[in-house]
């Protein structure tokens, strides 16, 4: 009795998926219990956002100080760049499964697992962003008597915003995408429609794909907008 796989061509339609998102459907697996519908979609979306937010907060709390400090001191290039490269090679499914088996399931444990994906891009970009700042500007800041902390916070960081934000955006997209498989570790996100496909059916599967895609695109747009707000006006003029 190996995996009872579904037939490759499932009778999914866009119309059916949209209906699934807005109206609860009766499922033949749950004994007549209704699945889908806007209430469940909202509940799962909130969980996915919650786990993404916690994971992102952990990644930023770990990676930003290290990346900014190393960048300011100009040391640890191998660590900062190498970590980013290794991070890209971590297989998402193995990471979630391993962390669930090693540290356990639940919201916080999944967030920690997801934070592992967020740390490399944030750390690398924070480091690169600070290092890219024109050394002449740092010299000028030192020349007018700024302390090291002032140089970091008032000169280097504002100039590094676009690069640092690119790292945070990359981390967010990686985390929210992988949060889709969080149901494997007991946290019911929108991925439940995908992983529990026999309960939700083909329309639920397609609906899951649509919802996860929309969620990721929305987050990306919001972060792009936040990046514009955070970038100082002088830099924006230069880019235009």
Q: Which residues contact 137 (CB under 8 A, 6 or more apart)?
A: 155, 159
- The candidate with the shortest Cα–Cα distance to 236, out of 158, 154, 131, 140, is 158
* Among 23, 29, 147, 154, interactor with other proteins by CB under 8 A: 29
Closest approach of Cβ 10 to other proteins, in Å? 6
Binds other proteins by CB under 8 A, chosen from 95, 107, 108, 161: 95
Residue 9 DSSP symbol? S
- Quote the tokens at residue 52: 């993404």
Query: Residue 132 is encoded by which pair of tokens?
Result: 């890219």
**CA 231/CA 240 separation, integer angstroms:** 13
Q: Is 88 in the site for other proteins (CB under 8 A)?
A: yes
Cα separation, 185 vs 112, in Å, equals 12
C-beta of 237: minimal distance to other proteins in Å? 19
Contact between 234 and other proteins per CB under 8 A:
no
Backbone angles phi, psi at 26, to 5 degrees: -80, 140
Q: Give the tokens for residue 60.
A: 């930023």
Residues 94, 136, 149, 240: which binds other proteins (CB under 8 A)?
94
Query: Does residue number 5 form part of the binding site for other proteins (CB under 8 A)?
Result: yes
- Residue 173 neighbours by CB distance under 10 Å: 18
Q: How many residues does the chain have?
A: 240
Among the listed residues 213, 222, 226, 230, the single contact to other proteins using CB under 8 A: 213
Between 141 and 178, CB nearer to other proteins: 178
Near other proteins by CB under 8 A: residue from 68, 113, 166, 202: 202
* Residue 41 interacting with other proteins (CB under 8 A): no
Q: Find the binding residues for other proteins in span 117-176 (CB under 8 A).
A: 173, 176
Selection from 167, 177, 182, 158 nearest residue 215 by Cα: 177
Q: Does 107 bind other proteins (CB under 8 A)?
A: no
Q: Answer yes or no: are the C-beta atoms of 219 and 175 closer than 8 Å.
A: no
3 binds other proteins (CB under 8 A): yes
Binding site for other proteins (CB under 8 A): 1-6, 8-10, 12-14, 29, 85, 88-95, 97-98, 100-102, 104-105, 173, 176-178, 180-181, 183-186, 191-192, 194-199, 202, 205-206, 208-213, 216-217, 220
């Amino acid at each position: 009795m190996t995996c009872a796989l579904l037939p490759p061509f499932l009778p999914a339609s866009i119309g059916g998926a949209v209906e699934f998102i807005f109206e609860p459907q009766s499922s033949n697996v749950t004994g007549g219990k209704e699945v889908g519908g806007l209430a469940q979609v909202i509940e799962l979306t909130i969980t996915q956002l919650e786990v993404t937010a916690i994971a992102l907060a952990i990644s930023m709390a770990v990676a930003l100080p290290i990346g900014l400090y190393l960048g300011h001191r100009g040391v640890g290039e191998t660590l900062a760049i190498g970590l980013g490269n290794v991070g890209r090679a971590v297989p998402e499914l193995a990471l979630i499964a391993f962390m669930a088996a090693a540290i356990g399931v639940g919201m916080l444990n999944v967030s920690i697992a997801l934070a592992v994906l967020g740390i490399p891009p944030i750390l690398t970009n924070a480091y690169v962003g600070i290092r890219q700042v024109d050394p002449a500007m740092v010299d000028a800041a030192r020349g007018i008597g700024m302390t090291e902390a002032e140089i970091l916070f008032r000169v280097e960081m504002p100039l590094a915003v676009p690069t640092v934000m690119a790292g945070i955006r990359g981390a967010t997209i990686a985390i929210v995408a992988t949060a889709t498989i969080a149901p494997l570790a007991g946290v019911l996100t929108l991925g439940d429609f995908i992983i529990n496909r026999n309960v939700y059916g083909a329309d639920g599967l397609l609906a899951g794909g649509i919802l996860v895609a929309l969620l990721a695109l929305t987050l990306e747009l919001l972060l792009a907008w936040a990046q514009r707000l955070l970038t100082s006006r002088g830099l924006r003029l230069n880019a235009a």
